[in-house]
Amino acid sequence: MAAVEQLLLEVLNELSSEEFLSKFKRRLSDFSPTLKFTPERAKVIDVMMEKLGQQSVKVIKKLLIEINRKDLAEILPEVGGFSVEEGNESFEPVSDFIQHRFSSVDSV
């Protein structure tokens, strides 16, 4: 597993089962409904990295901030000029990008 994927997995493993299932995956399903049915954290990261590449870091940061886990979001490196302090307003283009990239997965 690549270093970025390993770091993402370690961060997701810090979430409790409730945080991961009830909060994180629920928000992730807004981007890709099929990921809602992926139970393993490692598989979620695999699919995200396959479809989004390094953009997965931005997405996971956004979702962590939304579920009030900014402490975990701060662990992740900056990607594409995004930092946690910038807030959620920088994510609109990322949301569009994600929905476009996952649309082919969800239509299968």
53, 79 contact by CB (below 8 A)? no
- Residue 56 class from Cβ within 10 Å (0-12 exposed, 13-18 middle, 19+ buried)? buried
For residue 37, the model assigns a pLDDT of: 85
Q: Which of 51, 46, 55 is nearest to 81 (CA)?
A: 55
Residue 1's pLDDT is: 52
Give the per-residue pLDDT at 65.
Answer: 94
Determine contact, residues 56/45, Cβ cutoff 8 Å: yes
Residue 43: exposure state from Cβ atoms within 10 A (0-12, 13-18, ≥19): exposed
Series of mean pLDDT values for 10-residue runs along the chain (108 residues) = 87 94 88 83 92 89 94 82 44 48 50
Listed residue (73, 100, 80) closest to 14, CA to CA: 73
pLDDT at position 99 is 53
User: Which among 75, 63, 71 has a CA at the least distance from the CA of 27?
Assistant: 63
CB 72 within 8 A of CB 14: yes
Walk me through the domains of the chain, giving residue ranges and CATH numbers. Answer: 3-106 (1.10.533)
The pLDDT score that the predictor gives to residue 16 is 95
